[in-house]
Amino acid sequence: MLLKELEKFPQEIKSFMRIASTIAGKLGVRIYLVGGIVRDLIIKRKSFDYDIVVEGDGIEFTQLIADFLRVNFIKHQTFGTATVYYKNYKIDVATCRKEYYSCWGALPKVTPSSLRDDLYRRDFTINAMAIGLNKDDYGELLDFYNGYNDLKNGLIRVLHDRSFLDDPTRIFRAIRFEKRFGFRIEGRTLKLIKQALEEEAIKFVDEQRIRDEIVLILKEDYPPKYIRRIDELIGFSFIDKDLKLDKQDYMLFRRIHRAIKFFYQRFLKYHKLQEWLIYLLGITIKLSKEKVERFCSNFDFRRGEKKILTEIFIEKRTIHSLKRKVKIRKIISVLKPMSFEAIVFFYAYFNNKRLNKNILYFLNNLEKIKINVRGSDLEAINLKPAKIYGKILEELVYVKLEKNLLTKEEELEEAKKIFKRLIRAHSN
Ligand code: ATP
């Protein structure tokens, strides 16, 4: 079958593929477009990841293309893969591979092979199709495993019975594709998932790989439905053996979803939230701080992510004070040190009228809280000692709001007054 949709690719990609095709022909290797991009092309979904596989030496082929186009590329020698950067697009090139697994859940050993083998090692039939990019099969769909029909029938199906034992992270991927596309996990595949779970296959996977899949899931459009499906099929004992979700938690996830949308509309147009972390907070808040610390180090979260996930326990105590009518300074001193993720989380978590009013006040005044005066400005007017600059600037934030200061000059005048007050207080 010839795919007309190929014509819908951006012009730059089309010309890249034509050039790639010619170079492959000259080099005597065959190349194919594979994986998610083929699936998305068929269902007319926008996709940004272009994956090409080469029957032959993928790195040599990429080197030639990069030389010809005079663009950069990065080699990943161990996997025989390379990434080309071409006019704002990223194109991954891999050598066709065959994998075998030395033990459960371990990363596979890889040997060079043909397209058919390369597709056989993939997760689901819908992701195991290719499009020929060679002179004699340009634009032709190559579908050895019936992916096209599964895609049309909305089915998630593995290619062979050992699939989930070879790589249990595919269980999470099955959920992701099922929910994203509104598909169904096909009967036998579902049985294989259950068998793999009974055999505790997930325990044999590197936690970092599970983390990556969880993050991808929480980055999907409406994570609550994915969380529910994980709960149904797998449960959350892979995070902590006692972790169980209930009705209240699902209400919280829905509130988180609404809060994120609301905040983006109202305040955070210019501020990107790590939304997935807010949902994860909704799950991990049920554990103790110690357990979350352990979870973060086992799953190897980044330092900033770990900070948000663990500091929430202390912040949860301090933010209580904002459930009453309080002074502006209090609102700022409590909320300013917090991440936006934590603030949005608490907005949904406590769902408390007064607290949310205070949070809204804080966010409405975000711009005003930013002061223009810097330490260097204080130095320029010779205020000493420099060690109190931090205190002056902190105080200036409150005064700026209370007195509605507008210009940097006004701020500087106030800074001088604060300085005098601090010195006086210190000498008394
Ligand atoms: P998305 O649309 O979310 O980017 P994708 O299908 O492009 O989904 P990637 O994670 O980018 O997914 O992987 C690209 C391709 O690599 C997949 O389509 C699939 O063929 C293959 N793949 C990825 N992860 C696995 C896995 N764990 N086991 C087998 N094949 C995999």
Q: What residue owns the CA closest to ligand 1's atom 10?
A: 36
How far, in Å, is the centroid of ligand 1 from the Cα of 13?
Answer: 20
Are both 149 and 221 inside the same structural domain?
no
Q: What residue owns the CA closest to ligand 1's atom 21?
A: 122
Are both 149 and 188 inside the same structural domain?
no
Q: What is the pTM of this model?
A: 0.88
Are both 30 and 142 inside the same structural domain?
yes
Residue whose structure tokens are 């029909």:
149
Top mutation candidate among 123, 131, 162 for ligand 1, by most atoms within 8 Å of CB: 123
**pLDDT tens digit string along 41-79?**
999 898 888 999 999 888 889 999 999 989 888 988 777
How far, in Å, is the centroid of ligand 1 from the Cα of 251?
Answer: 31
56, 57, 49, 93: which is closest to 73 by C-alpha? 93
User: Which amino acid is it at 107?
Assistant: L
Are both 7 and 146 inside the same structural domain?
yes
**Cis omega (within 30 of 0) for bond into 385:** yes
In a domain, 243, yes or no: no
CB 171 within 8 A of CB 197: yes
Give the position, in ligand 1's atom list, of the atom nearest the Cα of 173. 27
In a domain, 291, yes or no: yes
In a domain, 416, yes or no: yes
Q: What residue owns the CA closest to ligand 1's atom 16?
A: 35
How far, in Å, is the centroid of ligand 1 from the Cα of 158?
Answer: 13
How far, in Å, is the centroid of ligand 1 from the Cα of 111?
Answer: 19
Give the position, in ligand 1's atom list, of the atom nearest the Cα of 40. 2
In a domain, 241, yes or no: no
Q: Which protein residues touch ligand 1 with a CB less than 6 Å away?
A: 35-36, 49, 51, 122-123, 127-128, 167, 169-170, 173
Give the position, in ligand 1's atom list, of the atom nearest the Cα of 166. 28
How far, in Å, is the centroid of ligand 1 from the Cα of 124?
Answer: 9
Domain tally, the chain? 4
108, 120, 76: which is closest to 95 by C-alpha? 76
- Distance between CA atoms of residues 348 and 345, nearest Å: 5
How far, in Å, is the centroid of ligand 1 from the Cα of 100?
Answer: 17
In a domain, 145, yes or no: yes
User: Which amino acid is it at 284?
Assistant: T
Q: What residue owns the CA closest to ligand 1's atom 26?
A: 123
Are both 171 and 305 inside the same structural domain?
no
225: phi then psi, degrees, rounded to nearest 5: -70, -25
- Distance between CA atoms of residues 59 and 73, nearest Å: 10
How far, in Å, is the centroid of ligand 1 from the Cα of 35?
Answer: 6
Residue whose structure tokens are 């949310």:
356
Give the position, in ligand 1's atom list, of the atom nearest the Cα of 119. 20
In a domain, 242, yes or no: no
How far, in Å, is the centroid of ligand 1 from the Cα of 173?
Answer: 8
Beta bridge partner(s), residue 156: 185
Are both 9 and 134 inside the same structural domain?
yes
How far, in Å, is the centroid of ligand 1 from the Cα of 187?
Answer: 21
Are both 362 and 380 inside the same structural domain?
no
In a domain, 264, yes or no: yes
Q: What residue owns the CA closest to ligand 1's atom 9?
A: 36
- Distance between CA atoms of residues 347 and 339, nearest Å: 13
Rg of the chain over all Cα atoms, to the nearest angstrom: 28
- Distance between CA atoms of residues 235 and 175, nearest Å: 13
Range of the domain at 383: 375-427
Coil, strand, or helix at residue 155?
strand
Residue whose structure tokens are 């409150």:
398
> What is the token pair recorded at 381?
């007017």
- Distance between CA atoms of residues 285 and 296, nearest Å: 13
79, 80, 105: which is closest to 209 by C-alpha? 105
Give pLDDT tens digits along the chain (428 positions). 666 777 778 888 888 999 999 999 999 999 999 999 999 999 989 888 899 999 988 888 999 999 998 988 898 877 778 999 888 888 999 988 766 565 555 665 555 578 999 999 999 999 999 999 999 999 999 999 999 999 999 999 999 999 999 999 999 999 999 999 999 999 999 999 999 999 999 999 999 999 999 999 999 999 999 999 999 999 999 999 999 999 999 999 999 999 999 998 887 666 789 999 999 999 999 999 999 999 999 999 999 999 999 999 999 999 999 999 998 889 988 998 999 999 999 999 999 999 999 999 998 887 777 888 998 999 888 888 888 898 898 888 888 888 888 889 999 999 999 998 888 887 77
Dihedral (CA of 156, 216, 291, 338) sign:
negative
